[in-house]
Chains A and B, each alone.
Chain A
Amino acid sequence: MWVFLAAVLGSPATLENRQADQASLARIARGDQAAFAELYDRHARLVYSLALRILQDRADAEDIVQEVFAQVWAQAGRYDASRGAVAAWMLMLTRSRAIDKLRAKRARPEAATDPDAAESVMDVAAAQDLELLSAEQVTRLQRALKELPEAQRTALELAYYEGLTHVEVAARLAEPLGTVKTRIRQAVMKLREVLSE
């Protein structure tokens, strides 16, 4: 299924958007600053919005945008278009870097040794099967998120937007571990069901 980048960009969903991203990336790989600016204009809002949602701080979110685009500039030449959409890859970079920054801000000791922290330096080699959802899918997902029981939604959001483990989510919510795992599993199943409709 082809992705519709306009789901989040506010323009008609077209295959050309994805192809335009790949073309921009190819030009960026050759040092084309104009192509870099085009990519920024298409996706800065997407990257900034996710970083802001995770970090809840505008200055920190701006730092993440800078870091993500710097990484795109540095790794553009190694990006394999067959692995997925450029914008989806950028979203992955954004989430990983923002969660790392969140952990660092909270000075959690495991931030330095957590094997999942490797996500923070996730390069293009690790990015695969990355596709954006269509506008219609995003709308369905947003609606389904709203309709989730609050306890399920909260647990899922802590896991996704803060990168917490099951144990950490349980501790944060002061709920039994089993309860938290069940809530997250049920939430994921519901969202998966909605997206497969």
Chain B
Amino acid sequence: MGAVRDDDRPELQPPILQGLGQAVPQVDPPLALRARVLATVAGAPTARPEAARSAVWVLATAASLVLAAGLGLYTSQLRGRIGALESELGDARARAAAAEQRAIDAQQAVAGTRVALAVLTSPDVARIDLAGQAVAPRASARAYWSRSRGMVFTASNLPALPPGRVYQLWVLTAQPAPISAGLLMPDAQGGVNETFNTPSDIPQPVALAVTIEVAGGVQSPSGEKYLVGTVVGA
């Protein structure tokens, strides 16, 4: 036996070579595989006299190999096609989900616009202008409030929120405790356009204020005031 080179494959002689093949866990092949394998020789001539079979045998063998190769190729193509279809299905699902989200967004926008229109055209609408405070002198806001229809609130130039913080809109009434109207998340330019439903039995507002609070909002204002405005004639 010659020298063993480092890049040689380890020498595994019979019976170890055979034994390792036999020692694997035994698993039954799928039943459908039997039909596929037998189909590779289907149509091949059955037993014939030895003398007459040579040429036909070669053809039959070639045909069976071609058939086997063809089946293998077909199977491979089928797998590829299934993979492509699954990929297309995934893309289609993603597009459907995106379209659904856009539809929801559009419905919400339409609903908000309807509320805004209802508030602005309400006979009992009142306008409240809010001015920026010391921490946000350039900020300003305007609210239209209707006891029966709700509130439309627009603001501009609000400073960008630090992480974990949110603006909160408060309705101040004759009662000592301010009432939270909702949370405000300004856009990149510091703008806000929101509509709120306010309870119809709310006491007469005397002022509105916007404070900065922890994300999620608070029960009563605790942060610094950014906008304040009084209700004219309240």
Partner of A31, one of B19, B25, B34, B48: B48
Q: Nearest residue in B to A34 (C-beta to C-beta)?
A: B46
How many chain B residues sit at the interface, stated as a range, is 35 or more
Tell me the smallest distance from the CB of B135 to a CB of chain A, in Å.
Answer: 60
- Tell me whether B47 and A32 are in contact (CB under 8 A): yes
Evaluate contact between B72 and A166: CB separation under 8 angstroms. Answer: no
- The 0/1 profile, CB within 8 Å of B marked 1, for residues 14-38 of chain A is 0000000000000100111100110
Give the segment of B10-18, B122-130, B198-206 that binds chain A: B10-18
Check B24 against A49 for contact (C-beta < 8 Å): yes
Q: Are B14 and A74 neighbours in the complex by a CB distance under 8 Å?
A: no
Cβ of A132 under 8 Å from chain B: yes
CB distance from A24 to the nearest CB of B (A): 12
User: Across the two chains, which residue of chain A brings its CB closest to B76?
Assistant: A63
Contacting residues, chain B, for A31 (C-beta < 8 A)? 44-48, 53, 57, 60
A2 at the interface (CB under 8 A from B): no
> B9's closest neighbor in chain A, by CB?
A165
Which residues from chain A contact B8 at a C-beta distance below 8 Å? 165-166
Contact of A70 among B24, B57, B68 (CB under 8 A): B68
Instruction: Report whether B79 and A59 are in contact in the complex, using a CB–CB cutoff of 8 Å.
Output: yes
- Chain A residue nearest in CB terms to B60: A31
Task: Flag whether A95 is at the interface (Cβ < 8 A).
Answer: yes
Q: Are B19 and A137 in contact (CB under 8 A)?
A: yes
Interface of A is mostly: helix
Q: Give every chain B residue within 8 A of A123 (Cβ-Cβ).
A: none
**A124 interface residue (CB < 8 Å to B):** no
What separation, in Å, do the CA atoms of A112 and B27 have in the docked complex?
31
B40 touches A188 (CB 8 A): no
Please, how many angstroms separate the alpha-carbon atoms of A169 and B16 in the complex?
A: 19
- Mark interface residues in A30-67 (1 if CB within 8 Å of B CB, else 0): 11110011001100111111101100001101110111
CB proximity of A155 to chain B, nearest CB, Å? 8
Which of chain A's residues have a CB closer than 8 A to the CB of B71? 66
Q: A45-B27, A66-B72 are in contact. List 6 more A-B contacts (CB 8 A).
A: A7-B22, A44-B34, A49-B25, A70-B68, A92-B18, A160-B17
Q: Which residues of B contact A (CB under 8 A)?
A: 4, 6-12, 14-30, 33-34, 36-38, 40-42, 44-48, 50, 53, 57, 60-61, 64-65, 68, 71-72, 75, 79
